[in-house]
Amino acid sequence: MVDVILGLQWGDEGKGKIVDYFAPNYDVIARFQGGPNAGHTLYVNGTKMVLHQIPSGIFHQDKINIIGNGVVLDPVTLKKECDAVASMGIDVKKNLFISERTNIIIPSHRALDKASELSKGEGKIGSTLKGIGPAYMDKTGRNALRVGDLLDKKFISKYIALRMKHQKILDSYNFNEDISEMESEFFECIEFLKTLNIINCEYFLNDQIAKGKKVLAEGAQGSMLDIDFGTFPFVTSSNTISAGVCTGLGISPKQIGEVFGISKAYCTRVGSGPFPTELHDAKGEELRKIGSEFGATTGRPRRCGWIDLVALKYACMINGVTQIIMTKADILDSFETLDLGIAYEMEGKQIDYVPFQLVGTPVTPVWKTMQGWNTDSTKMKSASELPATMNSYIEFINTYLGVPVKFVSNGPGRDQIVHL
């Protein structure tokens, strides 16, 4: 059986810590989509670690960690990450496995990403410029290089052919940056990648399932960034929802068990795009300051706002969420009152659903105001210790969504999670 952990908002929900917390209960942890635009933050023995490509179960040495075919892989980022993990005593050559079908990000993908974003002017989408979009475009365009191709004697000629295709597009943008240093580093890291465990993931994973092993699928970004169901066109380039587990790992839908959806107790977004409950006042700044809301991958300040229950209910629906994990509840500890977005006002109408298009149409949230708990929750270990006002906040969310909040994270530490 395969359980799933994924984000329900616009990313940055705290998936890394949660996967690390649940990892001891599983035999295999597998990333099923996304690329180095992900930034999953963990605290291991008091040391902060941000993972962009490697699954968040890597610090559990008895667990198998898989990078699935739905991921786009940057060999340079992977090498740096493996070195950082190895410095903490982890042998990645023992417990990290990579699907041979995983698509590779090459240096010209990064150049294409930058050239495309620059060409959009004020209409830019806020890309991380990691080459993710162009890499997925090559996948759907059937031009991509895959990890299995590294073992082919013709890899260099395949690389050159793809590089030349990219150059024609770069020329059309009049983009002239020199990427030769990036290419040198890329080929050095390719040699390292060849030394890792490259597997036929779909057979390997289904064999593990047949043996009764428990698998945890780890998502990246968030549901509202899904290429199909997110706030298009301000989305990522992959399917971030639970359906992506099947195509990103090679398993059937009947294997999916629990779907754990992660949501902050409030809401954030990095980059451009709709954000109905965004705050442009002192409270928004206070959320950013207390929550240290700066992107783990880009360092950009995150836009902050109150929780959006309309979008959250939508995300629960399309993912088939069975349990919710609420993170960063402690960030709300000092607020006397809390607002929750329970509907949208658009074009003179009040709606309680996510419309086809949120871009270009003014949206005013309808608020439900509740009493804050105004208490330090960071040292609380059990549900019985939580303030009554926090329980009321959670109960209102449970009723609105029709899906229960089962865990509350009340700090960055591994042990700061309360099971309700």
CATH of the domain at 93: 3.40.440.10
How many Å apart are CA 187 and CA 43, to the nearest integer?
31
Are residues 155 and 274 located together in one domain of the fold?
Answer: no
The residue from 12, 74, 330, 339 that is catalytic is 12
Q: Enumerate helices (H) and strands (E) in the chain, giving the number of each.
A: 12, 20
pTM: 0.93
Are residues 45 and 148 located together in one domain of the fold?
Answer: no
Q: Is 52 among the residues known to form the active site?
A: no
Are residues 234 and 135 located together in one domain of the fold?
Answer: no
Are residues 385 and 343 located together in one domain of the fold?
Answer: yes
* pLDDT tens, residue by residue, 353-410: 999 999 988 999 999 999 999 999 999 999 999 999 999 999 999 999 999 999 999 9
What b/e string do you get for 373-393 counting C-beta neighbours within 10 Å, with b at 16 or more? beeebeebeeeeebbeebeeb
What b/e string do you get for 329-353 counting C-beta neighbours within 10 Å, with b at 16 or more? bbbbbebeebbbbbbbebeeeeeee
Task: Pick the last residue of a domain from 173, 193, 213.
Answer: 193
Are residues 92 and 204 located together in one domain of the fold?
Answer: yes
Question: What separation in angstroms does the CA of 361 have from each of 93, 355, 356?
Answer: 50, 10, 11
Residue 268: phi and psi, rounded to 5, are: -140, 160
Query: Where are the alpha helices (H) located in 123-242, listed in sequence order?
Result: 132-140, 155-172, 180-194, 201-210
CA nearest neighbour of 109 among 186, 40, 33, 53: 186
Q: Write down the pLDDT at residue 294.
A: 85
Residue 419 lies in a domain: no
Residue 418 lies in a domain: no
Are residues 299 and 385 located together in one domain of the fold?
Answer: yes
Are residues 124 and 183 located together in one domain of the fold?
Answer: yes
Residue 413 lies in a domain: no
Residue 409 lies in a domain: no
**Contact status, residue 202 vs residue 32, Cβ threshold 8 Å:** no
Q: Write down the pLDDT at residue 297.
A: 66
Residue 292 lies in a domain: yes
How many Å apart are CA 126 and CA 207, to the nearest integer?
40
Are residues 52 and 122 located together in one domain of the fold?
Answer: no
Task: Pick the last residue of a domain from 260, 287, 306.
Answer: 260
Residue 19 lies in a domain: yes
**CATH of residue 147:** 1.10.300.10
Residue 412 lies in a domain: no
Give just the sign of the alpha carbon dihedral 289, 292, 295, 298: positive
Residue 383 lies in a domain: yes
* pLDDT tens, residue by residue, 242-293: 999 999 999 999 999 999 999 999 999 988 899 999 999 999 999 999 999 9
What single letter denotes the amino acid at residue 402?
Answer: G
**Contact status, residue 343 vs residue 302, Cβ threshold 8 Å:** no
How many Å apart are CA 396 and CA 375, to the nearest integer?
19
Are residues 36 and 122 located together in one domain of the fold?
Answer: no
Q: Is 12 among the residues known to form the active site?
A: yes
- For the chain, residues with pLDDT lower than 50 are none
Over the Cα atoms of the chain, what is R_g? 21
**CATH of residue 384:** 3.90.170.10
Task: Pick the last residue of a domain from 226, 243, 260.
Answer: 260
- Domain of residue 207, residue span: 2-100+198-260
Are residues 209 and 303 located together in one domain of the fold?
Answer: no
The residue from 3, 20, 40, 74 that is catalytic is 40
**Contact status, residue 244 vs residue 4, Cβ threshold 8 Å:** no
CA nearest neighbour of 364 among 347, 381, 382: 347
Are residues 60 and 114 located together in one domain of the fold?
Answer: no
Pairing of strands 28-31, 40-44: unpaired
Are residues 153 and 243 located together in one domain of the fold?
Answer: no
